[in-house]
Amino acid sequence: ETLRLANPPSDMALRPALEAVLEGGKKGRVQAELSYLAGGLSWSAEHVCVRRGEAAATWSAGVTVRNETGRDFVDATLKLVAGEPRREHPLPPPMPQARMEMLVPAAKGAADVLSEQSFSEYHLYTLDRPATLRDRETQRLTMLEPLAIKVEPRYLARVGAGVRTQLVVKNDAASGLGVPLPAGRVRFYDADAAGDLQFTGETALGHTAEGE
């Protein structure tokens, strides 16, 4: 009823996770690929807008990938789908484990490139190199290098609600962007009199297509 190993390998599974039975018409060897849906992997986008004067700014974007599956993925092909595919029965959350979460920044001098392409009703971002995602580890990758963009400042006044400061950014090539932007958080910064960047606010961005 009980099995105990004195020195089990760290990547050894002690219980079956998947089992497949193949029935063919004849004996022989055949190459096959097994794919399945799993929980515990997630990613989110974060955009940064830095004001450069009254009507100019720089826009950059990065992604944060989290692995909470209970296992490591070494030299994996990383593809991120921007959108919200509907799941009829969401997977249960992973079992908590007493392990420290690590934040791993991108390596210096080696900028990651996430190439974007249309995919079905979504957008697909593919990392240009193999990725190693260790369990309970969080990695930050660059999605969009800083781009010089045009912004339009305006004030929104509502009765009883005061005045709010807004920045209008159009996602087109004429304004300096013109790329699909995945949903995520947008943080805004502005330089003070000494030239140091100061945080001035944040907002949530929905999936924004080119031209919006």
How many CB atoms sit inside 10 A of residue 152's CB? 12
Query: Residue 72 in 3-state DSSP?
Result: coil
Output the pLDDT for position 174: 95
- Burial label for 204, CB within 10 Å (0-12, 13-18, 19+), is exposed
Output the pLDDT for position 59: 96
Q: d(Cα 63, Cα 88) in Å, to the nearest integer? A: 26
Q: d(Cα 49, Cα 186) in Å, to the nearest integer? A: 7
Output the pLDDT for position 108: 42
Output the pLDDT for position 37: 78
Output the pLDDT for position 98: 37
Tens of each residue's pLDDT in the chain, 212 residues: 677 788 878 777 766 667 777 777 788 887 888 787 778 888 999 999 999 989 999 999 998 999 998 889 999 888 888 877 777 776 655 444 433 344 444 444 445 656 677 777 777 888 888 888 999 999 888 888 899 999 999 999 999 889 988 899 999 999 999 988 888 999 999 999 999 999 999 999 988 888 99
Query: Residue 61 in 3-state DSSP?
Result: strand
Q: d(Cα 60, Cα 46) in Å, to the nearest integer? A: 9
Cβ proximity of 168 and 154 under 8 Å: yes
Cβ proximity of 133 and 71 under 8 Å: no
Output the pLDDT for position 112: 60
Q: d(Cα 170, Cα 146) in Å, to the nearest integer? A: 16
Output the pLDDT for position 107: 43
CA distances from 60 to 51, 140, 186 (A): 12, 13, 10
